[in-house]
């Protein structure tokens, strides 16, 4: 059993309990939150809370999260190398490589970032939960880049609140198929489980969580584009879902159309280019390149950047070379 403690800020006064929790814990589905509330595992100032309860500033919300049976055992530390960008007594910022799962889940019991954190900083054990020690936000397995991790319960609570109030700014680089017509834009659409393919998320009409993604074109690359993307919310697969929804799937994304033809029309030269790009980058072309937030204890402004890894750069170079030579045959 892990416990999550939240304090209702002034801005949260008057908000329904279920909506407050959905915003504070985007990784938890709305149905699971409702089940926890019905089971009496959510208390407000020491009393069981109702989903419709209106919160008051300063109230203490406590959520009990039962561990799934297959993950109930405590995690064992594993000596997995970590690229630590910054560390102090309260938190650490790391550069996660593609291929590293953040925490145990279905079919993944070992070799995760959570196991590595327990080896690097044993004091994170139990901070935020037994299977997610210190973790306040996630990156998909095949997404690389910056993450912040809490080392103390106080830092964890504060970082969760900073994320909930959107005081944490996360910037991503994404290579997408196709050329957006505009130089920048905003994508808004609720995200929920895809009703036809349950392993995917999708923009849905009913039951989804509000989501907003902002983007701008950094570089046009023939039949593709390099985008800078910013999240105003933090839904599962949000960037991948939103960009695919508007017809620009992330290059290499196997779940949302990024390994298909994309912005290329299908000539022999374009098929060769697509193969070269996907060989250079055998994963989705998504990198968490920037992270800004006020320090959860001192309040000092923290700002970090991460250059794209080698595989990302190789894919860019293939596209740049093709665009320069006009091989893609698509107006730039």
Cβ–Cβ under 8 Å, residues 85 and 306: yes
Q: Which residues contact 160 (CB under 8 A, 6 or more apart)?
A: 4, 6, 24, 25, 128, 136
Q: Which of 139, 176, 180 is nearest to 277 (CA)?
A: 176
Tell the burial category of 181 from Cβ atoms under 10 Å away from its Cβ (0-12, 13-18, 19+).
Answer: exposed
Query: What is the rounded distance in angstroms from the CA atom of residue 229 to the CA atom of residue 227?
Result: 6
Cβ–Cβ under 8 Å, residues 115 and 131: no
Q: Which residues contact 12 (CB under 8 A, 6 or more apart)?
A: 20, 55, 57
Catalytic one among 18, 88, 95, 140? 140
- Residue 185, SS3 per DSSP: strand
Could you confirm whether 253 is annotated as catalytic? no
Active-site residues, by number, are 140
């Amino acid at each position: 059993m892990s416990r999550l403690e939240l304090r209702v800020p002034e801005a949260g006064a008057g908000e329904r309990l279920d909506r407050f929790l959905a915003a504070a814990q985007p990784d938890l589905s709305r149905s699971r939150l409702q089940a926890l509330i019905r089971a009496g595992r959510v208390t407000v100032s020491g009393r069981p809370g109702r989903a419709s309860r209106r919160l008051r500033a300063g109230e203490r919300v406590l959520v009990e999260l039962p561990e799934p049976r297959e993950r109930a055992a405590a995690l064992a530390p594993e000596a997995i190398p970590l690229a630590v960008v910054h560390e102090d007594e309260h938190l650490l910022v790391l550069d996660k490589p593609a291929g590293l799962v953040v925490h145990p889940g279905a079919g993944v019991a070992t070799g995760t970032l959570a196991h590595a954190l327990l080896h690097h900083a044993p004091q994170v054990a139990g901070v935020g939960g037994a299977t997610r020690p210190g973790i306040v936000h996630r990156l998909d397995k095949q997404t690389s880049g910056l993450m912040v991790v809490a080392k103390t319960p106080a830092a964890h609570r504060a970082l969760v609140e900073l994320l909930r109030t959107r005081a944490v700014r996360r910037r991503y680089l994404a290579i997408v198929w196709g050329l957006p017509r505009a130089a920048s834009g905003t994508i808004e659409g609720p995200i929920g489980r895809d009703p036809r393919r349950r392993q995917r998320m999708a923009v849905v009409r009913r039951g989804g969580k509000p989501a907003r993604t902002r983007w701008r074109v950094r570089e046009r690359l023939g039949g593709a584009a390099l985008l800078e993307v910013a999240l105003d919310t933090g839904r599962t697969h949000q960037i991948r879902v939103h960009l695919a929804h508007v017809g620009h799937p992330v290059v290499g994304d196997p779940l949302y159309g990024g390994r298909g033809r994309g912005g290329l029309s299908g000539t022999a030269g374009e098929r060769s280019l697509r193969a070269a790009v996907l060989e250079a980058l055998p994963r989705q072309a998504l990198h968490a390149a920037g992270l800004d937030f006020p320090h959860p204890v001192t309040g000092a402004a923290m700002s970090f950047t991460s250059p794209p890894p080698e595989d990302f750069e190789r894919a860019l170079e293939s596209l740049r070379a093709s665009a320069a030579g006009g091989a893609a045959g698509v107006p730039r």
